[in-house]
Chains A and B, each alone.
Chain A
Amino acid sequence: MELLGGGRTSRFQRALVEEQGVAVSAYAFSSSDSIATGMIGVGATPASGVSLETVEAALETELAAFLAEGPSEDALERAKSNIAAAAIYARDSQTAMANWFGASLVQGMSIDDIVGWEARIRAVTRDDVMRVTDTYLNGQNHVSARLLPGETG
C-alpha cells in the first residue's frame, strides 16, 4: 500500500495527482491492527471540475497497471527503507513506542515480532508484494464510498 499511495513517489501520486491532474490527493492504506480481518483501502479527492466517476476509474486503472507490472526495484527499495526507518523515528516517542508494543501484544504478537519488524520489512521481495497484491486487490469484492455534496436549501 506504501507503493500504491504512501507518499510523494507513490503510483497514485504520480499518475493521478501529477500526470493526469484528476486528483489533488490520493492515498492507500493497510490496517492490520486487528484480531480478526484487517482492511486495505484506497481513496482520492478529485480536483475541481473532475467527477467522482473519473477519479474512481483512474484509481482502478492504476491498480490494474500495478497488478500487471508490479513495482520497480527502486520503488520497492524506497518503500521498504521508509517503512523500516519509521521504526527508528518511532523510538523518539514514548507514546508511539507504548502504543506499538501495547497494540501488538494485545493482538497476540510477541516482543520478538516487534524487535524483528525492521528485518522482516527489509526481507520482503518483489514476489511477496505481487502475491499479496494478487490475493487482496485482484477482483475481490470491495466497498466504495463516495462523499457527495448535500442538498442545499
Chain B
Amino acid sequence: MKFQSLLAAFAANVLAGCALAPSTQPEEIDAEAVMEDATSGLANVEVVESPGGVTAWLVSEPSIPIIAVNAAWRGGSASDPEGLEGAANLMAYMMNEGAADLDSRAFGARMEELNMAFGCSVSADWTSCTLRTLSANADDAFDMMRSGLTETRFDDEPMARAVREKLVQLKQSETSPRAIARRKMNAALYPDHPYAREETPESVSAATREDLIERRDVLMARDRLLVVVVGDITAYDLALKLDDVFGALPATSDVVEIPEAVLNMAPATPIVAPLPQPQTLISFSAPGPKRADEDFVPAYVLNYILGGGGFSSRLMDEIREKRGLTYGIGTSLRGSAHLGLWGGRTQTKNESVQELIDIAKAEIARLRAEGPSDKELADAKAYLTGAYPLGFDTNSKIAGQLMYVRQNDLGLDYVATRNDLIDAVTREDLMAVADKYLDPEAFTFVLVGEPKGFE
C-alpha cells in the first residue's frame, strides 16, 4: 500500500543509519486526492488459488521482511458437543503445544529459534489461527504451522496445564461483572440457543484427547477455510505453500449448523445480578441488524451518533459530559453469523442507576423521534471514512481487515467501496433504521452490582 510502503521505506533508511534529510517547506497537499489514493490503494488484493483448491487473498508487500498469515474456519465453540463445552477452545490451545516429534517444550523452543509466532483461538462461530514470521524463515515457519495443525500431539502435560488455566479463568469469571452480565443477558435473550451455553469446570475437564482430535477433524476441514496473507511473499510462492500447510486437513466435514437466534422480548424491568461493589455495571441489548442486512451500514452510522463515537456521541454527552454520571458509555452493533444485536454498556455508582437508565432511554427515544442534525451526520461520515485507512497501517491489521471482509462475504472490492457506502447514507436511511431498532422498550437491561431501588 503506497502510504505504508513509503513510511516503511523511510523507517528502513533511518535504521540503516542514514542521516535525516534537512526539513523543507511542505508542498501544498490536495487532501481529497490523498484520501482517494489512500483508500483505493489500501489493500491491493490478489486471489491466489493453490493446485489443491485452497484460496487465499494475498497482499504482497515486500517493504518489510515479514509475513502475516490469518486462517479462519467457519465453525467454533458454539458447535461443541453437549457436555463438552470448552472442547474447541482446548483444541485451539493445543495447536502450538507439540506436534510430530517436537513435544511442547521443543515446539516452543523451535518457534522462538525461528522468531515466529503461531497460535489458534476460537470464537462462537469461527476457529482461527495466525502465523507471524520473518520472510527469511518462511519455509521453516510455514512447516511448523503445517505440523501444528495436522500432526498435533495433544500430549497430557499441556492438556492438563490448559485445564488448570481454564479453571482459574472460570473462577475469575464468577465475580467478573462483565462475565456475569454476559451470562445473564444470554439467559434472558436466547437461553436455549448454543450461544448461551457456558463452559463449566466439569465440561472443560471432560474433554479427552480423542474428543479434541474429533473437534479438529470436524472444525478444520478445508472446505470451511478462509486464508489471508499479507507481507513479503509472492503469489507464486504462496500458492505452493497453501497446499503444504493445509493439504493434510480433511477435505470436508459435517458441522452441526447453528440455528438463527430468536430473541426473547425485553422484560418490563431490568434483570439484577447482585454483586457487592460500589458501582453497577449496566448492560443493555436489543435486536439489531446482522452484518449482511441492508440496514447494517446506516445502523453503523447511526450507532456512531448514538453511542459509538465516544465523546462525539449523544449518550456520552448527556450522561458523562452534562451530568457526570459515568466515566464512559458506549454502544455498538454486536452479533455474529446467526445473531444481530444492538447494545451498550456503562457503569455508574449504585445510587445513580435509575437516573442513568432513564436518561439513556430518553436519548434513544429522542434520536428515534428527531433524527440526527446535519452536522452530526456530516461529522459521523467524516470520522468513519477518515479513520478507515488507519486500520491498515500494519501487515497484521491489513490481514485482520481482509479476513473480516472474507468472513462476512463483503466482496473483493469492499475495501475500495466501503467509504462510498458510508458517504451514501442519507438522513432518511438513518430515520428508517432508528424507527425499526431504537425503541427504548426493546432493550433488555442487566444490572450487576447493588443498584439502589432495584432490591
List the interface of chain A (C-beta within 8 A of B).
7-9, 14, 17-18, 21, 24-25, 45, 47-48, 74, 77-78, 81-82, 85, 87-89, 91-95, 97, 111-112, 114-115, 152-153
Looking at B102-110, B331-339, B352-360, the stretch in contact with chain A turns out to be B102-110
Among B4-12, B235-243, B244-252, the one that faces the other chain is: B4-12
Do A81 and B161 touch (CB < 8 A)? no
CB distance from B119 to the nearest CB of A (A): 10
Q: Within 8 Å CB of B65, what residues of A?
A: 88
Q: Find out whether the CB atom of B167 lies under 8 angstroms from the CB atom of A48.
A: yes
List of A residues within 8 angstroms of B28 by Cβ: none
Q: How far is the CB of A34 from chain B (nearest CB, A)?
A: 24
Considering only residues 354-369 of chain B, those with a C-beta below 8 Å from chain A are: none
Residue pair B17, A112 in contact (C-beta under 8 Å): yes
A54 → chain B closest CB, angstroms: 14
Residue pair B115, A85 in contact (C-beta under 8 Å): yes
Are B108 and A9 within 8 A (Cβ)?
yes
Q: Contact: A78 with B109, CB < 8 Å?
A: yes
Q: Are B164 and A93 in contact (CB under 8 A)?
A: no
Q: How far is the CA of A86 from the CA of B296 in the complex (A)?
A: 39
Q: How far is the CA of A93 from the CA of B392 in the complex (A)?
A: 10
Give Cα distance in the complex from A88 to B64, angstroms: 8
Question: Which of A21, A87, A92, A111 sits near B164, CB closer than 8 Å?
Answer: A21
Contact check, B112 vs A47: say whether CB atoms are below 8 A apart: no
**CA–CA, A12 to B202, complex, Å?**
28
Contact between A81 and B112, CB atoms less than 8 A apart: yes
Distance in angstroms between the alpha carbons of A8 and B64 in the assembled complex: 26
Q: A17 contacts B105, CB within 8 Å?
A: no
* Contact indicator A82/B164 (Cβ below 8 Å): no
Contact of A92 with B64 in the complex, beta carbons under 8 Å = yes
A81–B14 CA distance with the chains assembled, in angstroms: 21
B161 and A18 within 8 A (CB): yes
Contacts of B15 in A (CB 8 A): 87, 91, 114-115
Output the least CB separation between A69 and chain B (Å).
18
Point out the residue from B7, B108, B115 that lies within 8 Å of A81, measured CB to CB: B115
A21–B164 CA distance with the chains assembled, in angstroms = 8
**Interface set of B (CB-CB < 8 Å, partner A):** 4, 7-8, 11-12, 14-17, 20, 64-66, 104-105, 108-109, 111-113, 115, 132, 134, 157, 160-161, 164-165, 167-168, 171, 276, 393-396
In the complex, A91 Cα to B104 Cα: how many Å?
30
Residues on B with beta carbons closer than 8 Å to the beta carbon of A85: 115, 134
How far does the Cβ of B309 sit from chain A's closest Cβ, in whole Å? 21
A105 vs chain B, min Cβ distance (A): 12
- Cβ–Cβ contact A14 & B164, under 8 A: no
* Bound-state Cα–Cα, A111 to B395, Å: 25
- CB atoms of A8 and B167 under 8 A apart: no
Cβ distance B348 to chain A, nearest Cβ, rounded Å = 20
CB pair B161–A17 under 8 Å, yes or no, is yes
Distance (Å) between the CB of A151 and the closest chain B CB?
A: 9
Contacts of B109 in A (CB 8 A): 8-9, 74, 78
Interchain CB contact under 8 A, B395 and A88: no
Partner of A18, one of B104, B111, B394, B395: B104
Most B-side CB within 10 Å, residue of A9, A25, A97, A152: A9
Closest 3 CB pairs of A and B: A8-B108, A85-B115, A78-B112
Q: Is the CB of B14 within 8 A of A47?
A: no
CB A131 to nearest CB in B, in angstroms, measures: 24
Whether A82 pairs with B115 at a CB distance below 8 angstroms is yes
A153 CB to nearest B CB, Å:
5
Task: Enumerate chain A residues within 8 angstroms of B104, measured Cβ to Cβ.
Answer: 18
Contact of A91 among B11, B167, B276 (CB under 8 A): B11
With contact pairs A18-B157, A82-B115, A111-B14 given, residues A92 and B167 touching in the complex (Cβ less than 8 Å):
no
A152 to B105, CA, bound (A): 40
- B394 neighbours in A (Cβ, 8 Å): 92-93
Nearest A residue (CB) for B7? A94
- A115-B17 contact given A78-B112, A93-B393, CB 8 Å threshold: yes
Across-interface contacts of A95 in B (CB, < 8 A): 393
Given contacts A81-B115, A92-B8, contact A9 B66 (CB under 8 A): no
**Can you list 23 A-B pairs, Cβ within 8 angstroms, ordered by A?**
A7-B112, A8-B111, A18-B105, A18-B161, A24-B164, A25-B165, A45-B168, A77-B113, A78-B109, A81-B113, A87-B15, A88-B66, A89-B66, A89-B132, A91-B8, A91-B15, A92-B64, A92-B396, A93-B394, A94-B4, A94-B393, A97-B11, A114-B15
Alpha-carbon gap, A153 to B168, bound state (A): 22
- B130 CB to closest chain A CB (Å) equals 13
